[in-house]
Amino acid sequence: MALDYQAENQIILGSGELYLGVVANPETADEATIEAALKNIGAIESGATLEYKPSIKEIESANRGTLKRFITKEEVNFDCGILHWLVDNLALLAPATVTTDATSGTKTVKIGGKGSLPVNYLRFVHTKKDGSGTITVNILKAQNTNGFSFAFDKEKPLSIGYQFSALATSDGTLVEIVETFPEV
């Protein structure tokens, strides 16, 4: 028996662009509305990670071993570091308010006291190195569940860690991954 293989498997390398924004009714919003709400967050340091993690329950028989497995919980997490500094973006990560005083030339972010995490539409777009298309990750309801930290280091640029966890949509979807490719 000859085993078939896919001769044109792509090797995915590199990073992409991260977009965040608040989209009213993300489950029913059209693409134009979504794109209008999203803003590019900045250059990504060291790529990005998408993780899907199911919790599994096993049904076992005393004399037959494992009979069945099913999923009891699913988690989707997206993680990356951003190099560009824009203080306004902190309001996408934490319960925060941003105020600008044009007279004094200051912008102030006050974090805490709101009690709930912001819910963002997250889109990550990776362009394939050979230019043959993109891989887009959409999390319609993403929350930063890891807080953030700043490391001011004279040897390295400041990178802000973004870690988001997905909330399920009404149909249970946590993440969608869309690949584009050349028409055949």
> pLDDT value at position 24?
92
Would you say residue 8 lies in a domain?
A: no
Would you say residue 84 lies in a domain?
A: yes
End-to-end alpha carbon distance in the chain: 30
Q: CA 148, 90, 145, 178 torsion: positive or negative? A: negative
Q: pLDDT per residue over 70-86, tens digit each?
A: 999 999 999 998 887 78
Would you say residue 47 lies in a domain?
A: yes
Would you say residue 39 lies in a domain?
A: yes
Q: pLDDT per residue over 105-155, tens digit each?
A: 999 999 988 678 899 999 999 988 887 889 999 999 999 988 888 777 888
Alpha-carbon distance of 78 to 166, in angstroms, equals: 8
Would you say residue 147 lies in a domain?
A: yes
Alpha-carbon distance of 165 to 160, in angstroms, equals: 16
Would you say residue 128 lies in a domain?
A: yes
Alpha-carbon distance of 49 to 75, in angstroms, equals: 14
Domain count for the chain, please give it: 1
Segments forming the whole domain that contains residue 77:
17-179
Would you say residue 88 lies in a domain?
A: yes
Would you say residue 139 lies in a domain?
A: yes
172-177-181 Cα angle (round to 5) = 150
Q: Which residue has the higher pLDDT, 133 or 170?
A: 170
